[in-house]
Protein backbone atom coordinates (compact mmCIF):
# COMPACT_ATOMS: atom_id res chain seq x y z
CA UNK A 1 0.00 0.00 0.00
CA UNK A 2 1.23 3.49 -0.88
CA UNK A 3 0.85 6.02 1.89
CA UNK A 4 -1.02 9.27 1.39
CA UNK A 5 2.19 11.26 1.89
CA UNK A 6 3.94 9.41 -0.94
CA UNK A 7 1.00 9.99 -3.26
CA UNK A 8 0.99 13.69 -2.45
CA UNK A 9 4.73 13.92 -3.06
CA UNK A 10 4.37 12.13 -6.40
CA UNK A 11 1.56 14.49 -7.39
CA UNK A 12 3.68 17.52 -6.56
CA UNK A 13 6.55 16.15 -8.66
CA UNK A 14 4.22 15.56 -11.65
CA UNK A 15 2.84 19.10 -11.42
CA UNK A 16 6.35 20.54 -11.12
CA UNK A 17 7.41 18.53 -14.19
CA UNK A 18 4.47 19.85 -16.22
CA UNK A 19 5.29 23.44 -15.21
CA UNK A 20 8.95 22.95 -16.12
CA UNK A 21 8.02 21.56 -19.55
CA UNK A 22 5.90 24.60 -20.42
CA UNK A 23 7.66 27.25 -22.57
CA UNK A 24 8.70 30.34 -20.66
CA UNK A 25 6.62 33.33 -21.66
CA UNK A 26 8.71 36.49 -21.93
CA UNK A 27 6.84 39.71 -21.31
CA UNK A 28 8.05 42.82 -23.06
CA UNK A 29 7.19 46.12 -21.42
CA UNK A 30 8.29 48.38 -24.25
CA UNK A 31 6.19 50.45 -26.64
CA UNK A 32 7.38 48.39 -29.62
CA UNK A 33 8.13 44.70 -29.07
CA UNK A 34 11.22 43.02 -30.55
CA UNK A 35 8.95 40.91 -32.77
CA UNK A 36 7.60 44.05 -34.44
CA UNK A 37 11.10 45.52 -34.79
CA UNK A 38 12.36 42.35 -36.48
CA UNK A 39 9.72 42.58 -39.17
CA UNK A 40 10.51 44.21 -42.51
CA UNK A 41 8.51 47.38 -41.89
CA UNK A 42 9.61 47.48 -38.27
CA UNK A 43 13.29 47.68 -39.26
CA UNK A 44 12.55 50.36 -41.84
CA UNK A 45 10.63 52.50 -39.39
CA UNK A 46 13.27 51.99 -36.71
CA UNK A 47 16.15 53.10 -38.93
CA UNK A 48 14.14 56.00 -40.35
CA UNK A 49 13.35 57.31 -36.86
CA UNK A 50 16.94 56.76 -35.68
CA UNK A 51 18.45 58.61 -38.65
CA UNK A 52 15.94 61.47 -38.32
CA UNK A 53 16.70 61.92 -34.61
CA UNK A 54 20.49 61.77 -35.09
CA UNK A 55 20.44 64.21 -38.02
CA UNK A 56 18.11 66.61 -36.19
CA UNK A 57 20.22 66.74 -33.04
CA UNK A 58 23.45 66.96 -35.06
CA UNK A 59 22.13 69.95 -36.97
CA UNK A 60 20.91 71.56 -33.75
CA UNK A 61 24.40 71.39 -32.26
CA UNK A 62 26.51 71.97 -35.38
CA UNK A 63 24.49 74.74 -37.04
CA UNK A 64 25.39 77.47 -34.48
CA UNK A 65 29.07 76.70 -35.00
CA UNK A 66 28.60 76.78 -38.78
CA UNK A 67 26.71 80.07 -38.55
CA UNK A 68 29.48 81.61 -36.46
CA UNK A 69 32.26 80.52 -38.84
CA UNK A 70 30.42 81.59 -42.00
CA UNK A 71 29.36 84.85 -40.33
CA UNK A 72 33.02 85.70 -39.77
CA UNK A 73 33.63 85.22 -43.51
CA UNK A 74 30.88 87.64 -44.54
CA UNK A 75 31.15 91.39 -44.93
CA UNK A 76 29.55 93.70 -42.41
CA UNK A 77 26.77 94.59 -44.85
CA UNK A 78 26.01 90.99 -45.75
CA UNK A 79 25.79 89.79 -42.17
CA UNK A 80 23.35 92.62 -41.34
CA UNK A 81 21.04 92.17 -44.31
CA UNK A 82 17.58 90.61 -44.03
CA UNK A 83 16.80 87.88 -44.77
CA UNK A 84 20.20 86.44 -43.86
CA UNK A 85 22.20 84.40 -46.35
CA UNK A 86 23.11 80.81 -45.57
CA UNK A 87 26.40 80.92 -47.52
CA UNK A 88 28.81 83.87 -47.78
CA UNK A 89 28.55 85.61 -51.14
CA UNK A 90 32.22 86.61 -51.11
CA UNK A 91 34.07 84.61 -48.39
CA UNK A 92 36.96 86.46 -46.78
CA UNK A 93 39.28 85.74 -43.85
CA UNK A 94 40.17 89.38 -43.21
CA UNK A 95 37.86 89.58 -40.20
CA UNK A 96 39.98 87.07 -38.29
CA UNK A 97 43.11 89.19 -38.50
CA UNK A 98 41.15 92.33 -37.65
CA UNK A 99 39.54 90.66 -34.64
CA UNK A 100 42.92 89.44 -33.39
CA UNK A 101 44.29 92.99 -33.37
CA UNK A 102 41.17 94.85 -32.22
CA UNK A 103 40.36 92.54 -29.32
CA UNK A 104 44.02 91.88 -28.46
CA UNK A 105 43.09 88.20 -28.41
CA UNK A 106 46.68 87.10 -27.85
CA UNK A 107 46.81 88.78 -24.44
CA UNK A 108 43.28 87.69 -23.52
CA UNK A 109 43.98 84.07 -24.43
CA UNK A 110 47.24 84.10 -22.49
CA UNK A 111 45.46 85.44 -19.41
CA UNK A 112 42.61 82.95 -19.71
CA UNK A 113 44.94 79.98 -20.19
CA UNK A 114 46.95 81.06 -17.16
CA UNK A 115 43.84 81.38 -15.00
CA UNK A 116 42.41 78.09 -16.31
CA UNK A 117 45.60 76.08 -15.73
CA UNK A 118 46.13 77.57 -12.29
CA UNK A 119 42.52 76.94 -11.33
CA UNK A 120 42.81 73.39 -12.65
CA UNK A 121 45.89 72.66 -10.51
CA UNK A 122 44.36 74.15 -7.35
CA UNK A 123 41.00 72.48 -7.94
CA UNK A 124 42.48 69.05 -8.66
CA UNK A 125 44.71 69.22 -5.58
CA UNK A 126 41.79 70.07 -3.29
CA UNK A 127 39.11 67.88 -4.93
CA UNK A 128 41.28 64.77 -5.27
CA UNK A 129 42.50 65.04 -1.68
CA UNK A 130 38.96 65.54 -0.35
CA UNK A 131 37.51 62.67 -2.40
CA UNK A 132 40.35 60.33 -1.41
CA UNK A 133 39.90 61.15 2.27
CA UNK A 134 36.13 60.60 2.13
CA UNK A 135 36.44 57.37 0.13
CA UNK A 136 39.46 55.55 1.55
CA UNK A 137 40.48 57.22 4.81
CA UNK A 138 36.86 57.42 6.04
CA UNK A 139 37.12 60.21 8.62
CA UNK A 140 34.63 60.74 11.44
CA UNK A 141 31.41 62.36 10.16
CA UNK A 142 32.61 61.84 6.59
CA UNK A 143 29.07 61.31 5.31
CA UNK A 144 27.98 64.53 6.99
CA UNK A 145 30.81 66.41 5.28
CA UNK A 146 29.90 64.88 1.91
CA UNK A 147 26.25 65.77 2.41
CA UNK A 148 27.19 69.35 3.23
CA UNK A 149 29.30 69.53 0.05
CA UNK A 150 26.44 68.21 -2.06
CA UNK A 151 24.05 70.65 -0.40
CA UNK A 152 26.09 73.52 -1.83
CA UNK A 153 25.05 72.39 -5.33
CA UNK A 154 21.49 73.47 -4.57
CA UNK A 155 22.55 77.07 -3.89
CA UNK A 156 22.46 79.27 -7.03
CA UNK A 157 25.86 80.90 -7.70
CA UNK A 158 24.30 84.37 -7.86
CA UNK A 159 23.13 84.06 -4.25
CA UNK A 160 26.69 83.87 -2.92
CA UNK A 161 28.19 86.28 -5.46
CA UNK A 162 28.03 89.39 -3.25
CA UNK A 163 29.46 87.68 -0.11
CA UNK A 164 32.16 86.11 -2.29
CA UNK A 165 33.10 89.46 -3.80
CA UNK A 166 33.21 91.12 -0.37
CA UNK A 167 35.49 88.33 0.88
CA UNK A 168 37.81 88.77 -2.12
CA UNK A 169 37.98 92.53 -1.48
CA UNK A 170 38.69 92.00 2.23
CA UNK A 171 41.52 89.63 1.35
CA UNK A 172 42.92 92.20 -1.11
CA UNK A 173 42.72 89.76 -4.03
CA UNK A 174 41.38 92.11 -6.71
CA UNK A 175 43.39 91.81 -9.94
CA UNK A 176 45.04 88.77 -8.38
CA UNK A 177 44.76 85.27 -9.87
CA UNK A 178 44.07 83.82 -6.44
CA UNK A 179 40.81 85.76 -6.46
CA UNK A 180 39.66 83.33 -9.19
CA UNK A 181 41.48 80.23 -7.96
CA UNK A 182 40.30 80.18 -4.35
CA UNK A 183 36.53 80.14 -5.20
CA UNK A 184 37.08 77.29 -7.68
CA UNK A 185 39.27 75.23 -5.33
CA UNK A 186 36.49 73.08 -3.82
CA UNK A 187 33.72 71.86 -6.11
CA UNK A 188 31.11 69.58 -4.58
CA UNK A 189 30.15 67.97 -7.88
CA UNK A 190 33.74 67.12 -8.80
CA UNK A 191 34.38 65.73 -5.31
CA UNK A 192 31.30 63.53 -5.61
CA UNK A 193 32.39 62.17 -9.01
CA UNK A 194 35.90 61.45 -7.77
CA UNK A 195 34.65 59.78 -4.58
CA UNK A 196 32.31 57.50 -6.52
CA UNK A 197 35.18 56.38 -8.73
CA UNK A 198 37.54 55.90 -5.79
CA UNK A 199 34.88 53.75 -4.10
CA UNK A 200 35.01 51.37 -7.09
CA UNK A 201 38.77 50.76 -6.69
CA UNK A 202 39.24 47.31 -5.11
CA UNK A 203 40.17 47.45 -1.46
CA UNK A 204 42.74 44.70 -2.06
CA UNK A 205 44.95 47.12 -4.03
CA UNK A 206 45.01 49.57 -1.15
CA UNK A 207 45.72 46.84 1.40
CA UNK A 208 48.54 45.37 -0.72
CA UNK A 209 50.22 48.78 -0.90
CA UNK A 210 49.79 49.27 2.84
CA UNK A 211 51.37 45.86 3.53
CA UNK A 212 54.37 46.98 1.46
CA UNK A 213 54.73 49.95 3.79
CA UNK A 214 53.07 52.68 1.70
CA UNK A 215 51.46 55.52 3.60
CA UNK A 216 48.25 57.34 2.62
CA UNK A 217 50.02 59.82 0.32
CA UNK A 218 52.03 57.06 -1.33
CA UNK A 219 48.88 55.00 -1.89
CA UNK A 220 47.16 58.00 -3.43
CA UNK A 221 50.07 58.80 -5.77
CA UNK A 222 51.11 55.28 -6.78
CA UNK A 223 47.85 53.29 -6.66
CA UNK A 224 44.75 55.48 -6.79
CA UNK A 225 45.75 58.16 -9.31
CA UNK A 226 47.17 55.81 -12.01
CA UNK A 227 43.89 53.85 -12.21
CA UNK A 228 41.76 57.00 -12.04
CA UNK A 229 42.82 58.61 -15.30
CA UNK A 230 39.34 58.41 -16.90
CA UNK A 231 37.59 60.33 -14.13
CA UNK A 232 40.52 62.72 -13.77
CA UNK A 233 40.15 63.56 -17.46
CA UNK A 234 36.43 64.21 -17.08
CA UNK A 235 36.89 66.43 -14.02
CA UNK A 236 39.72 68.27 -15.79
CA UNK A 237 37.46 69.09 -18.71
CA UNK A 238 34.73 70.36 -16.40
CA UNK A 239 37.21 72.57 -14.55
CA UNK A 240 38.90 74.03 -17.65
CA UNK A 241 35.63 74.65 -19.50
CA UNK A 242 34.18 76.37 -16.43
CA UNK A 243 37.23 78.63 -16.19
CA UNK A 244 36.94 79.54 -19.89
CA UNK A 245 33.23 80.31 -19.88
CA UNK A 246 33.07 82.09 -16.50
CA UNK A 247 32.11 85.73 -16.95
CA UNK A 248 30.66 87.40 -13.85
CA UNK A 249 33.42 86.68 -11.32
CA UNK A 250 36.32 87.60 -13.69
CA UNK A 251 34.39 90.77 -14.59
CA UNK A 252 34.32 91.79 -10.93
CA UNK A 253 37.77 90.57 -9.90
CA UNK A 254 39.97 91.32 -12.93
CA UNK A 255 39.26 94.99 -13.59
CA UNK A 256 42.56 95.90 -15.28
CA UNK A 257 42.39 95.67 -19.07
CA UNK A 258 45.67 93.73 -19.28
CA UNK A 259 44.38 91.11 -16.81
CA UNK A 260 40.94 90.41 -18.32
CA UNK A 261 39.80 86.99 -19.47
CA UNK A 262 38.69 86.28 -23.01
CA UNK A 263 34.96 86.43 -22.25
CA UNK A 264 35.26 89.76 -20.43
CA UNK A 265 37.59 91.26 -23.01
CA UNK A 266 35.29 90.43 -25.92
CA UNK A 267 32.27 91.90 -24.16
CA UNK A 268 34.10 95.13 -23.31
CA UNK A 269 35.12 95.75 -26.94
CA UNK A 270 32.09 94.31 -28.76
CA UNK A 271 30.30 97.66 -29.00
CA UNK A 272 33.10 99.27 -31.01
CA UNK A 273 33.54 96.64 -33.76
CA UNK A 274 31.42 95.12 -36.54
CA UNK A 275 29.38 91.93 -36.31
CA UNK A 276 31.67 89.89 -38.53
CA UNK A 277 34.66 90.87 -36.36
CA UNK A 278 32.77 89.73 -33.27
CA UNK A 279 32.02 86.42 -34.99
CA UNK A 280 35.69 86.01 -35.89
CA UNK A 281 36.74 86.69 -32.32
CA UNK A 282 34.29 84.09 -31.06
CA UNK A 283 35.60 81.51 -33.53
CA UNK A 284 39.20 82.11 -32.44
CA UNK A 285 38.33 81.88 -28.76
CA UNK A 286 36.40 78.65 -29.32
CA UNK A 287 39.41 76.84 -30.79
CA UNK A 288 41.08 76.06 -27.40
CA UNK A 289 37.92 74.34 -26.15
CA UNK A 290 37.73 72.24 -29.31
CA UNK A 291 41.37 71.21 -28.81
CA UNK A 292 40.67 70.28 -25.18
CA UNK A 293 37.75 68.13 -26.27
CA UNK A 294 39.76 66.21 -28.87
CA UNK A 295 42.62 65.67 -26.41
CA UNK A 296 40.35 64.33 -23.67
CA UNK A 297 37.59 62.71 -25.74
CA UNK A 298 38.79 59.19 -24.91
CA UNK A 299 38.64 60.01 -21.21
CA UNK A 300 35.16 61.50 -21.65
CA UNK A 301 33.78 58.26 -23.06
CA UNK A 302 35.60 56.16 -20.45
CA UNK A 303 34.38 58.40 -17.64
CA UNK A 304 30.71 58.28 -18.57
CA UNK A 305 30.32 55.14 -16.44
CA UNK A 306 33.01 56.04 -13.91
CA UNK A 307 32.23 54.54 -10.54
CA UNK A 308 29.12 52.69 -11.73
CA UNK A 309 30.64 49.20 -11.48
CA UNK A 310 32.30 47.76 -8.40
CA UNK A 311 35.35 45.52 -8.57
Sign of the Cα pseudo-torsion (19, 20, 25, 26, in order): positive
Q: In this predicted structure, what is the pLDDT of residue 5?
A: 55
Do residues 190 and 301 lie in contact, with contact meaning Cβ atoms separated by under 8 Å?
Answer: no
Give 215-222 contacts, CB < 8 A, sequence gap 24+. Answer: 216/132, 216/136, 216/137, 219/136, 220/128, 220/129, 220/132
Q: In this predicted structure, what is the pLDDT of residue 34?
A: 65
How far is residue 194's CA from residue 287's CA, in Å, rounded to a whole number?
28
Instruction: Count Cα neighbours of 110 within 13 Å in the Cβ-side half-sphere.
Output: 8
C-alpha distances in angstroms, 309 versus 8, 128, 134, 205, 303?
Answer: 47, 20, 19, 16, 12
Q: In this predicted structure, what is the pLDDT of residue 304?
A: 53
Q: In this predicted structure, what is the pLDDT of residue 33?
A: 63
Q: What is the mean pLDDT of each run of 10 residues along the chain (311 residues)?
A: 54 58 52 66 78 89 85 79 80 83 86 90 90 84 84 84 89 89 86 87 81 81 83 84 86 87 83 80 84 71 51 41
Q: In this predicted structure, what is the pLDDT of residue 161?
A: 87
Amino acid sequence: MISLGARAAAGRRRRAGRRASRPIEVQFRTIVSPHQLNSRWGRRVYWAVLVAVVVTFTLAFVFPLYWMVTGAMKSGEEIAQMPPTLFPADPSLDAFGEAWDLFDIGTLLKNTLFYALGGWLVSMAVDVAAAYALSKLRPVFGNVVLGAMLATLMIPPMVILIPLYVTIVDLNLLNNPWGLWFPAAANGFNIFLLKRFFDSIPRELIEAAQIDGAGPLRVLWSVVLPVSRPILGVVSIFTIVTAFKDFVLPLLVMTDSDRMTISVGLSQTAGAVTQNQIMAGLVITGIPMIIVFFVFQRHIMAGLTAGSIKG
